[in-house]
Amino acid sequence: MLEPASVLLAGVVVDPRGAPVASASLYLGFSPAQGGWSTQVSIDTDERGAFEIRRGYAGRELLAMVARRSCNGPYVPVRAGALDLRLVLADE
């Protein structure tokens, strides 16, 4: 029997006023050994602005970005294993 994947990151996306943002897109990337950044995961937040990523990139430097429509926001560093992230979506 396969073991369930461990949670890599979990949290909530909020607007600048602190309100949860439903259906925000979250992009997660890491720096591969050869350099540069590579987007590996993209998911949308639920109706409460919450997200959970269950993929294993432990030990790598991770970057996350949130956006409403397209991949257009700044990436911010995040720590693998963080289960209480609060990512703020900038006003467009």
pLDDT tens digits, residue range 34-74? 555 666 778 889 999 999 887 655 555 566 776 665 555 67
Residue-wise over 61-87: b if at least 16 C-beta within 10 A, else e?
Answer: ebbbbbbbeeeebebeebebeeeebeb
- Look at the alpha carbons of 79, 10, 47, 86 in this order and tell me if their dihedral is positive or negative: negative
Are the C-beta atoms of 74 and 65 separated by less than 8 Å? Answer: yes
Question: What integer pLDDT is reported at residue 67 of this predicted model?
Answer: 67
Residue 18 has pLDDT above 80, yes or no: yes
Question: How confident is the model over 77-81, as a mean pLDDT?
Answer: 79
> What three-state secondary structure class fits 50?
strand
Residue 22 has pLDDT above 60, yes or no: yes
Question: How confident is the model over 18-28, as a mean pLDDT?
Answer: 89
Fold of 9-79: Immunoglobulin-like (2.60.40)
Residue 17 has pLDDT above 50, yes or no: yes
